[in-house]
Amino acid sequence: MRSGARARFGSHGRRQAARIRCGATAMSQLLEQLIQALRVLPGVGPKSAQRMAYHVLERERDRGQRLAEVLAAAIARIGHCRRCRDFSESELCAICTSSGREANQLCVVESPADRTAIEQATSYRGLYFVLQGRLSPLDGIGPRELGLDALAERLAEGEVQELIIATNSTLEGEATAHYLGQLARRHRVRPSRLAQGLPLGGELEYVDRSTLSHAFGSRVEIGESDHAQD
Ligand code: ZN
C-alpha cells in the first residue's frame, strides 16, 4: 500500500501514511519504534511502554544507554549450558562445574526462573536440567525441543539415582512430569515429584519460598499409576 501511496500522492501521501501509522499524535518514528520495542517485555502494554520511553528520554538517558549496552551484550553472549540447558556465558554453567554438588540427584525444571526459585528457597545440593519449556504438542513443542534426548543420555550414564520432577502443576506441566516419570523408570532412575502445598495450576517461580521449600522437602516417589493418563 505504501509504495502505491507514494507513487500516487508523492510527499503528501507519505505524510498521510505516517499520520495513519502514528494514530492521532505526530510522534517521532524512532520514539514509536522504541515504544513498540519495549512492548516485547512481559506485562508491558502500549501505555506502560509509552511511559517507559518518555521516562528514559526525559530523565534516564545515561542509564538508558547502559540498559541498551547490557541488553545487547547479554543477548550476544549468554547462551545455554551444554549439560543442563540453563543460561550460561560459558559452555558449562557454574552449577554443572561445581565440585560441591551431588551428581546423583537431578532436578528437572521448566525455566531458569524456576531453578533460581528452588536454589533460593531450598538447601538442595544436586544438579539441574532446565527444559526451557514444557511439552505442548499443539505449539509444536515435543521431547526434542525440550532436550529430552540429552536428558535420556544423561540418565543412561548411570550416575543419577533420583530424578526430581519440579515442573509446574499446570496441565502441560503435569503431562511433562508424566513423560519424565516414564523416562526415568526406563533408565531405572527413581522419579519423584514435589508434593504438598503447591497450588494447582500454579507456576513454581511465583510460589512463596516457605511453600516451595516444604514442597521440595516432602517430595514423593511417583509410581506407575500416579497420573490420570496412566
Ligand atoms: Zn549447567
Ligand 1 centroid distance, CA of 29 (Å): 42
How does pLDDT run across 16-39, given as a tens digit for each residue?
444 445 454 678 999 999 999 999
pLDDT at residue 224, rounded to an integer? 67
Which run of H or E residues covers position 191? strand 190-193
Number of structural domains in the chain: 2
Report the separation in Å between the CA atom of 77 and the middle of ligand 1, taken as the mean of its atom positions: 16
Q: Is 67 helix (H, G, I), strand (E, B) or coil?
A: helix
Distance in Å, CA 166 to ligand 1 centroid: 17
3-state secondary structure of 125: coil
Residue 230 lies in a domain: no
Residue 63 within a domain:
yes
- How much of the chain, in percent, has pLDDT values that exceed 70? 83
Q: Is the pTM of this model over 0.85?
A: no
Could you read off the pLDDT of 205-227 as tens digits, one per residue?
Answer: 777 787 788 778 778 788 765 54
Residues 159 and 54 grouped into a single domain: no
* pLDDT at position 6 over 70: no
Residue 6 domain flag:
yes
Range of the domain at 140: 87-221
- Ligand 1 is an ion; its neighbours by CB within 5 Å are 81, 83-84, 93, 96
Here the CATH number for the domain that contains residue 14 is 1.10.8.420
- For residue 93, the CA-to-ligand 1 centroid distance in Å is 4
In a shared domain, residues 108 and 8: no
Residue 230 scores a pLDDT above 90: no
230: nearest Cα among 185, 187, 199, 189: 185
Integer angstrom CA distances of residue 120 from 59, 156, 208, 216? 34, 29, 11, 12
- The answer to whether residue 229 is domain-embedded is no
- What per-residue confidence (pLDDT) applies to 92? 97
| 29 touches 23 (CB < 8 A) | no
Residue where one domain finishes, among candidates 20, 51, 77: 77
In 42-189 the beta strands, taken as DSSP E runs, fall at: 79-80, 87-88, 102-109, 126-130, 162-165
Q: Please tell me the distance between residue 87's alpha carbon and the centre of ligand 1 in angstroms.
A: 8
pLDDT tens digits for 172-190?
Answer: 998 999 999 999 999 999 9
